[in-house]
A and B are shown apart, each in its own frame.
Chain A
């Protein structure tokens, strides 16, 4: 007779093996290379040179600053919009409105990026409509939202994709106990703003923080959208790492891997924060 724990472990083994070999193996190789152990090009003396170089390089710091800015702005805007959206939708009985706002969740990030690009380039749909409506003189007057220094295109795509994701989680929290507590507050004389600030917000706060942590961690480490819609310099960390990795100069490899390891560590940190929070959430 095998115990329940062993049984679960055995059942999970095939999936875990794939994750361990592909993901763990990759991470292990990256760690070795970032430490300067790369026998293929004759590097066998491990050390922290790559980290030292990366962490003091202005390119990396610019890249890190941009990444924090894009991830932070995307998360902040998405969170505020998501809370407003959830508040507006929570009493909506119609399934259509709910289904409609969930649509972006199912669209892959790549497709979203292409869609946003088609609409907001200076030759795109948005520019032509604005010109046709007489809002701007000609399509080229449309503000540059792609490949720009403010990364507007990237942030826009993330906001479009992640707002419904956060809203879904917030909506679940709102439909739970929050509506009953709101009725209590109402009979105790609280007006709409007081009800939001003193009752609803504290009730959904953990869900809001947990959902935005997930979004922050994702936008921090995601590659495809900044790669497609971002400017040439500085680039966000995942793109920087990719470029270093693709460099003809193989000696740039440890630097690329160091960036990756740093990215992985930071993401792990966000994940740990999320796990801790969700555990507290479940405890109520």
Chain B
């Protein structure tokens, strides 16, 4: 049975007094796959350990389906966790590793064996039951670790950068597997990652943590198109920023008056637009610009444009061929232009 997870105003300080997490409030619905995203050292793993019960938060509460779990020891939470390293028990066979959680709960040998077999099949490791952990590759070990967590039928699965130690191909394969297991299983998943690509491709919602604070909690698409502040936009690769003053659905900027599609409160604001959304054409919200540099990236060409004191990046299909120094018209479509006040 999947669970509705609620973090209520969680704060945590290390023994050294350093703040790891500040006032984190977050809800993951039953069966949802949420990514906890942030650079290393931003407090993501601390949050995961608090949810698992391995750490007690300095303040705040962890709730599962409305019940306070803050004081409940990890072994009674039905929360399974897969760590960055596989951490298989080195003295046990693959099958004994996977069956560990069931045996600890007093399940009989035959039933344990049946479920272990099924779990190994789920992660495509059925032929490896009798192997020792050291005989497996890193990716295989991590799949066994995944099976070991899933076989206990957790209501909540915590994944702490489980793919980061694997090479690119294997990582892709593991992501697919995780997505599939989440879709077919009945549990809520919380994935910690520093890789925004991973968060975007896997998660239904992303919680971005910077310096222990939640910056934004929304769908992957919103992070690209509607970032709440400059740091969030930058974390997702945005490079185009414009200062402006908002009034009557338009912004007064160094590039002139630009129309906005989304409603924004009047006052000073920062405007941003993704390089892919910039058009090299005349029309609404257009202005003259000069091409400063061009970088060919295979599927697209990334131009740096200069318009007065403003520099912008535009990513266009490679068949548009423009020379450095050439004068063009650039257009920032109103529906792609996003503003946030800071």
Contact = CB atoms under 8 A, between A and B. Distances in A.
Interface stretch (B78-86, B281-289, B293-301, B313-321): B78-86
B54 A183 contact: yes
Contacts of B75: 186-191
A205 to B, nearest CB: 8
Contact of B81 (A187, A190, A198): A187
Given A180-B83, A183-B54, A284-B134, A189 B89 contact: no
Interface string B68-105: 00000111101111010101011100000000110011
Range for the number of chain A residues in contact with chain B: 10 to 19
A187 B100 contact: no
B110 interface: no
B54 to A, nearest CB: 5
Contact of A198 (B54, B74, B90, B100): B100
B89 A186 contact: no
B101 A189 contact: yes
Contacts of B79: 187
Interface in B17-56: 52-54
A181 interface: yes
Contacts of A180: 83, 85, 87
Main secondary structure of the interface of A (DSSP, over half): helix
B89 A187 contact: no
A103 to B, nearest CB: 25
Contact of A186 (B15, B74, B85, B91): B74
A199 interface: yes
A108 interface: no
Given A189-B105, A198-B100, A284-B134, A184 B91 contact: no
Interface in B126-178: 134, 148-149, 152, 158
Contact of B152 (A183, A188, A191, A203): A188
Nearest to B105: A189
B267 to A, nearest CB: 48
Nearest to A194: B104
| Interface core residue of B75, B87, B158 (most chain A CB under 10 Å) | B75
B104 A188 contact: yes
A181 B101 CA distance: 13
Contacts of A186: 53-54, 73-75
Contacts of A188: 75, 80, 100-101, 104, 148-149, 152
A85 interface: no
Interface in A160-198: 177, 180-181, 183-191, 194, 198
Nearest to B148: A188
B15 A187 contact: no
A153 to B, nearest CB: 39
Contacts of B15: 93
A284 B75 CA distance: 28
A202 interface: yes
A139 B15 CA distance: 49
B54 A202 contact: no
Contact of A181 (B78, B87, B149): B87
Interface in A177-236: 177, 180-181, 183-191, 194, 198-199, 202-203
A149 B1 CA distance: 65
A199 B54 contact: no
Contact of A187 (B52, B90, B91, B134): B52
A119 B329 CA distance: 96
Contacts of A189: 75-76, 78, 101, 104-105, 152
A187 B104 contact: no
A184 B104 contact: no
Nearest to A206: B91
A191 B15 CA distance: 25
Interface string B313-339: 000000000000000000000000000
A194 B79 CA distance: 18
Contacts of B149: 187-188
Nearest to B101: A188
B194 to A, nearest CB: 20
| Interface core residue of A93, A187, A202 (most chain B CB under 10 Å) | A187
Contacts of B87: 177, 180-181, 184
| Interface core residue of B15, B54, B80, B91 (most chain A CB under 10 Å) | B91
A200 to B, nearest CB: 11
11 contacts: A183-B74, A183-B83, A184-B81, A188-B148, A188-B152, A189-B101, A189-B105, A189-B152, A191-B75, A198-B89, A284-B134
Interface of A: 93, 177, 180-181, 183-191, 194, 198-199, 202-203, 284
Given A184-B83, A190-B75, 14 more contacts: A177-B90, A180-B85, A183-B54, A184-B89, A185-B104, A186-B53, A186-B74, A187-B74, A187-B158, A188-B80, A188-B149, A189-B78, A190-B100, A199-B89
The 10 closest A-B pairs by CB, nearest first: A188-B101, A202-B91, A187-B81, A186-B74, A190-B104, A189-B104, A189-B75, A184-B87, A189-B101, A194-B104
